[in-house]
Structure 1
Amino acid sequence: MTGLKNTLCSVMLLIFISSPAAAAEITLRFAGQFPEEHSATKLMREITDGVQSRTGGRISIEVYPANVLGDYTIIYEDLMRGAIDMALISIPSQFDPRLELVYLNPFVNYNAVKKAFRLDSWLSQKMDEYNTRLGVKLLGFNIEGLTGIASVKPINDPLAPESNKGVLVRVPLMHIYKAAIEAQGYRTVSVQYADAARALEEGRCDAVSSISADAAFTNLKGTMKYWYQLNYSQAVEPYLMSAKTWDRLSEEDIAIIYGEVGRASAKSIAQAKQNDRRNHELMRQNGIEVFTYSDAELLPLRRAIAENWKNLEPVMGRQLMNDARKHFLINVKH
């Protein structure tokens, strides 16, 4: 019996030693804000599996979804300090308001998104520059979908920026989103995303803006009655890495991580387009009125938002806004 126990112990020890976690030379903590079943969390796990496979288990990545390590502002601070290695989170702007640049362009469709969020694009280079100054490196982006407005009331003349819309709209605590919504003729109130559904239910606002159709249907389907797919920005989160982690990884390891994030980023764009169609249909099945528009129909709103960019110059900087006009409006016919 003693011999059998010793044999079993030896086998278990060998299994433990040969497992990827035990063999890992490097273990990275990867924080996210979405629940386990969300497509973004699934992509995080695909990145984890890809990196572990390509490094033969030498790098192990532990995924912490659903804000279990803190909300996106806390996670970003931990990235700056090196307490967390990687993250897929909304970008906080209290450390540098120019980080809101990622939400600026109103002339968006999925072709524009593919172009704007390539790692060699002007937008990506600026975002990497501003994050690097804070001790954080940009790895890529997760695209949730194009933005719209969920409402409990019908919106008056949604395509006419000069009209009184007749609703009070929740906006994120961000200068760019507030400016974009007000340029379209809405009265706004700033509410944290985590409190948006409750604010709508309690009547503290009539509508919730700056979210994707996926987020709207998932979080507001029991309350919202109307969905307006206005495409004035994109719901997007960056993949980030602490510069302290970056410095201790080899160039080969960084290249592997970039490659896996790049695959996940491309997949997110394809998924977002499919999710828009799927969620529009789910909304209709649940009695929600859905309004979609062509790029031509949305052009007056997009022009109004771009005209309002001058009011962002004190926060974002005049030179940055001038550069943004060149890059985002170059193909727009006025």
Structure 2
Amino acid sequence: MTYLVKTVALAALTLAGSTLSANAEIEPVTLRLAHVVNEQDAYHAASVKFQELVAERSDGAITVEIFPNATLGDERTLLEGMQIGTVDMGLITNGPVSNFVEEMAVFELPFLFSSPEAAYGVLDGDIGQDLLDQLSEVNLKGLAYAERGFRNLTNSKRAVETPADLDGMRIRVMENPVYIDTFRELGADAIPMAWTEALTAMQQGTIDGQENPVNVVYSFKLNETQTNMSLTRHTYAPAIFVMGMPKWNQLSEETQEIVLQASRDAAQYERELNAKAEGEQLAALKDAGMNVVETPDLSAFTDAIAPVYEKYGAKFGDYLPRIQEALK
């Protein structure tokens, strides 16, 4: 065996030994991870991937219990629970998170991103990290950006090709002022409510529609109550792996690093899963009888929401101009 080979072999053994040593030092911990959607949703797939990764990388020392279907509360309730330590972590849509750090709502501005790749470049760079870091100011630890995806409009009334078609429709939106004002500018009656309440409201006909990515429409079988979908792709919605600082501060540095990297890898896994699945899901919805408007008049929608930028553009500090510069 040559000196170089011996050196490489010794280094490999040393690295393996140090990894085992680090893992051996990790105290067993159980993390309660919650989300508000069902087990067919991409959020759940990302949560399961995170569960698998931390178990593998900690040699089983880190156990993750997943609570889907809003069993621990809606997204605002989950975040409040994380702040006081009654919930450990969750995969939360960006809109509710922005109620705790207003600047996070910059991502909710309509027609900000033209493609997933454009969004990823911003989220995974300095701008995205700066905003994740801000969550510590409200006792939350931002870990990584997964995604809800590009949001589209569905309704039970009629095909929507222009903003005029939305006139008077009662549309559920997330409890977020940017979403509320966006749909009011489009002529809809924007109704903010938690997702679990929205599902019941659609079944009962007390609201006419909602807006969400294709994967949500598919996994929740919204075509059963929503006969029309317009591919407006009006907002790209991130989702965030987030942990309460009370729990984060209890973890060792080794455990924190495993959790952080597993969150990033699970988020990337979910993005890839969504990209592969969207076409198949859209085809299945059409086959089930859903009327899909694939080319709504996006220029008319973009013109209609100009007042939203005038109202909110300056509220996000320098984040909007930084994003616009990064997108050039």
User: What TM-score do the two structures reach when normalised by structure 2?
Assistant: 0.80
Query: How far apart are 1:93 and its partner, in Å?
Result: 4.5
Superposed, which structure 2 residues align to 1:113-192 within 5 Å?
A: 113-118=119-124, 120-129=125-134, 131-155=135-159, 157-158=161-162, 161=163, 163=164, 165-168=166-169, 169-192=171-194
Distance 1:275 1:321, change over 3 A: farther
Partners of 2:179 and 2:140 lie apart in 1 by 23
Matched residues, percent identical? 18
Higher RCO (Cα < 8 Å, 6 or more apart): 2
Give the aligned partner of residue 15 of structure 2: none
Deviation sequence 1:135-173 (CA, Å, 0-9, x none)? 111011221321011112224542xx5x46334122222
Query: How far apart are 1:329 and its partner, in Å?
Result: 6.4
Query: How far apart are 1:132 and its partner, in Å?
Result: 0.8
Superposed, which structure 2 residues align to 1:293-312 within 5 Å?
A: 293=295, 298-312=298-312
Give the aligned partner of residue 279 of structure 1: 281
Tell me which of 20, 25, 36 is aligned to 1:33: 36
SS at match of 1:233: strand
Contact 2:54 2:258 in 1 (8 A): yes
Backbone CA RMSD of aligned residues: 2.7
Query: How far apart are 1:36 and its partner, in Å?
Result: 2.9
Partners of 1:55 and 1:192 lie apart in 2 by 35
Partners of 1:37 and 1:190 lie apart in 2 by 24
Query: How far apart are 1:80 and its partner, in Å?
Result: 0.7
Contact 2:54 2:62 in 1 (8 A): yes
Deviates more, 1:99-108 or 1:61-70: 99-108
Distance 1:203 1:26, change over 3 A: closer
Superposed, which structure 2 residues align to 1:92-131 within 5 Å?
A: 92-104=97-109, 106-108=111-113, 109-118=115-124, 120-129=125-134, 131=135
Deviation sequence 1:190-227 (CA, Å, 0-9, x none)? 33322223333433332212x11121232422111111
Q: Is it true that 1:258 corresponds to 2:254 in the alignment? A: no
SS at match of 2:234: coil
Partners of 1:201 and 1:85 lie apart in 2 by 32
Query: How far apart are 1:180 and its partner, in Å?
Result: 2.0
Structure 2: give runs of 5+ residues left out of the alignment. 1-25
Contact 2:103 2:319 in 1 (8 A): no
Contact 1:170 1:205 in 2 (8 A): yes
Query: Aligned pairs, how many?
Result: 299
Partner amino acid for 2:215? D
Give the aligned partner of residue 291 of structure 1: 293
Q: Is it true that 1:54 corresponds to 2:50 in the alignment? A: no
Contact 1:148 1:229 in 2 (8 A): yes
Partners of 1:248 and 1:198 lie apart in 2 by 39
Give the aligned partner of residue 7 of structure 1: none
Deviation above 6 Å: which 4+ runs of structure 1? none
Query: How far apart are 1:122 and its partner, in Å?
Result: 0.8
Distance 1:27 1:204, change over 3 A: closer
Deviation sequence 1:305-326 (CA, Å, 0-9, x none)? 354222236xxxx352553144
Partners of 2:48 and 2:294 lie apart in 1 by 33
Query: How far apart are 1:254 and its partner, in Å?
Result: 1.8
Partners of 2:199 and 2:120 lie apart in 1 by 30
Structure 1: give runs of 5+ residues left out of the alignment. 1-22
Query: How far apart are 1:240 and its partner, in Å?
Result: 0.6
Contact 1:309 1:321 in 2 (8 A): no
SS at match of 2:270: helix
